[in-house]
Amino acid sequence: MAKPVKRYIPQGSDLLQEKFVSCLMLRGKKSTARRIFADALDIIKTRTKDAPLEVFSKALFNVTPLVEVRPKRVAGSVYQVPVEVAPKRQQALSIRWILAAARSRKGVPMAHKLALELLDASADQGSAIKKKQDVLKMAQANKAFAHLAK
């Protein structure tokens, strides 16, 4: 297998932020996505005394799921089997849920919606946290089928 090529990361950014910006991007407009992300961090800076990047990382950490349910077919029946989530998938799900929650808010620009969702998620509130809790409840409700996991 070929060794992955080291990618260019802009100054003052890290891999997680770049991943977030890439997921935020629509129709290939990365400069617009970067501007939205930077504006959201500026709004966070005005709303709270914490560092904006700390709020961002805390929000992602709070939304990160530990278990999820996967459908498994056994003898003609489909069971929802709780399984642990791999680290890459944890990151992908948390980013996806935060962006989906931010996009579902209405009436304000995207940077403002994203900032509000990141602030809510860092305080263990909001739609993204509710999504994580729903997934956790589903996994706990189907704990009886954990023996089917492979």
CATH value of 15-148 in 3.30.70.1230, 3.30.300.30, 1.10.455.10, 1.20.58.2050: 1.10.455.10
Band of the pLDDT at 92, cuts 50, 70, 90? very high
Q: What percent of the chain has pLDDT over 90?
A: 75
**pTM of the prediction?**
0.88
Per-residue pLDDT for 135 more than 80? yes
Read off the pLDDT of residues 17-72 as tens digits, 9 standing for 90 and up: 999 999 999 999 999 999 999 999 999 999 998 999 999 999 999 999 999 999 98
The pLDDT of residue 106 is 93
The pLDDT of residue 8 is 65
Q: What average pLDDT does the chain have?
A: 91
Q: What percent of the chain has pLDDT over 70?
A: 95
Report CA torsion sign: 33, 19, 54, 134. Answer: positive
